[in-house]
C-alpha cells in the first residue's frame, strides 16, 4: 500500500505538522524571508529517503502515460493584453514563442492508492502553504486532471519562458536528469502596472544578465511566486528523465480547470470523457 501521506515528509527537519512549535515558527520565518526576498523558497530533503524511492519509482512507472501537449508557447500562453492593439507585430513578446518539450501525467491517470495522492490530500499541506504565503486558507482543487500532475522531461525536454497565471506554484522534485533541466528565473521582471515587454523581449533574445539559475535537488519542495517573474526549465540532456510533481491548491473551494486548458495539456481523451 502507498499510504504515505505525511509519513513521506521529514518532519524532524521540516515540522510542517507542528507550526506553532519553536522549530515550526523558526521554519516559517525563514521560508517567509526567502519568499519575500527571492520570490521562491526551497525545502531541501523535504521527503525522507525511503519516500523518495517510493515516489520516484511510482512516477517513473506512470511516465509512459504522460501527454506531450503543445510544443511551443508564448510567455503568456495566448492570453491577450486588452491595453494593446489586436494586430501586434510578430516580434512582440505576446506573439513570440519558445520551445516547450514536456509531457504531463494528469491526476485521473494516477492510481487511487498512489503515494502522491495521499501526500496531496493531507490537510497539513494546505495549512502549511497558507502559513508560509499568509493568504486566506487553501483548498484542494476539484478538477479531475489538474490536482496533481507529474511533469516528465526526456532527453532534450524543456519548458518555455513564461509567467504563471496562478498566485503561486508548489513543486516536488523526484528525479534530476544527468545534465540540464535547470529552473531559471528572472525575478520580478514585470509588475502589476508595467508589463515590461522590452525586458521580456531581451530575455527571449538571449540576454542572460538577469537570469538566476535555481538548482533544485531530488527530495526538494519548492514554493514559487511566478506571476511577475519570467521563468523556464533549460533543456535536459541524457537518458535519465526529469520528474517533477506539481501540486495545485487554490483559495477557492472546488475550483475546476478550464476545459480548453485541460484539452491542451492532457490530450484528446479529455474531450472524449466529457
d(CA 8, CA 233) in angstroms, rounded, equals: 26
Q: What is the dihedral of CA 167, 247, 23, 130, to 10 degrees?
A: 40
pLDDT in tens, 215-224: 999 999 999 9
H or E element that contains 150 = strand 148-153
At 274 the pLDDT is 56
DSSP β-bridge partners for residue 180: 236
CATH of domain 5-273: 2.60.120.620
**Apex CA 39: angle with CA 33 and CA 40, to 5°?**
80
Q: Is this prediction's pTM over 0.85?
A: yes
Would you place residue 160 in the very low, low, confident or very high pLDDT band (cuts 50, 70, 90)?
A: very high
> 10 Å Cβ neighbour count for 78?
12
Q: What average pLDDT does the segment 105-124 reach?
A: 90
Residue 74 has pLDDT above 80, yes or no: yes
**SS3 state at 229:** coil
Q: Which range, of 76-80, 141-145, 208-212, averages the lowest pLDDT?
A: 76-80
pLDDT in tens, 38-56: 999 999 999 999 999 999 9
d(CA 191, CA 49) in angstroms, rounded, equals: 39
d(CA 154, CA 238) in angstroms, rounded, equals: 8
d(CA 9, CA 49) in angstroms, rounded, equals: 9
- Report the mean per-residue pLDDT for the chain: 94
Residue 258 has pLDDT above 60, yes or no: yes
At 116 the pLDDT is 87
Contact of 165 with 79, CB cutoff 8 Å: yes
Q: Where are the domains of the chain?
A: 5-273
Q: What average pLDDT does the segment 82-109 reach?
A: 94
Contact of 233 with 183, CB cutoff 8 Å: yes
At 42 the pLDDT is 98
At 3 the pLDDT is 43
At 78 the pLDDT is 78
Residue 2 has pLDDT above 60, yes or no: no
At 188 the pLDDT is 97
Amino acid at each position: 500500500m502507498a499510504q504515505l501521506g505525511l509519513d513521506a515528509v521529514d518532519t524532524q527537519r521540516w515540522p510542517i505538522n507542528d507550526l506553532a512549535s519553536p522549530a515550526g515558527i523558526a521554519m516559517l520565518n525563514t521560508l517567509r524571508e526567502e519568499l519575500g526576498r527571492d520570490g521562491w523558497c526551497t525545502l531541501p530533503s523535504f521527503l525522507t529517503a525511503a519516500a523518495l524511492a517510493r515516489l520516484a519509482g511510482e512516477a517513473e512507472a506512470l511516465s509512459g502515460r504522460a501527454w506531450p501537449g503543445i510544443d511551443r508557447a508564448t510567455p503568456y500562453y495566448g492570453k491577450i493584453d486588452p491595453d494593446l492593439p489586436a494586430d501586434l507585430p510578430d516580434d512582440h513578446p505576446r506573439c513570440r514563442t519558445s520551445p516547450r518539450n514536456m509531457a504531463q501525467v494528469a491526476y485521473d491517470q494516477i492510481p487511487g492508492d498512489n503515494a502522491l495522492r495521499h501526500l496531496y490530500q493531507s490537510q497539513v499541506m494546505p495549512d502549511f502553504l497558507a502559513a508560509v504565503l499568509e493568504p486566506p486558507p487553501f483548498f484542494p482543487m476539484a478538477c479531475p486532471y489538474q490536482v496533481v500532475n507529474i511533469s516528465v522531461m526526456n532527453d532534450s525536454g524543456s519548458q518555455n519562458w513564461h509567467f504563471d497565471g496562478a498566485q503561486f506554484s508548489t513543486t516536488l522534485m523526484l528525479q534530476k536528469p544527468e545534465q540540464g533541466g535547470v529552473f531559471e528565473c528572472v525575478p520580478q521582471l514585470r509588475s502589476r502596472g508595467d508589463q515590461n515587454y522590452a525586458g521580456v523581449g531581451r530575455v527571449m533574445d538571449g540576454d542572460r544578465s538577469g537570469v538566476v539559475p535555481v538548482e533544485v535537488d531530488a527530495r526538494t519542495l519548492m514554493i514559487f511566486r511566478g506571476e511577475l517573474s519570467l521563468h523556464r526549465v533549460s533543456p535536459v540532456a541524457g537518458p535519465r528523465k526529469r520528474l517533477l510533481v506539481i501540486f495545485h491548491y487554490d483559495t477557492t473551494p472546488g475550483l475546476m480547470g478550464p476545459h480548453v486548458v485541460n484539452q491542451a495539456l492532457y490530450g484528446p481523451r479529455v474531450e472524449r470523457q466529457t
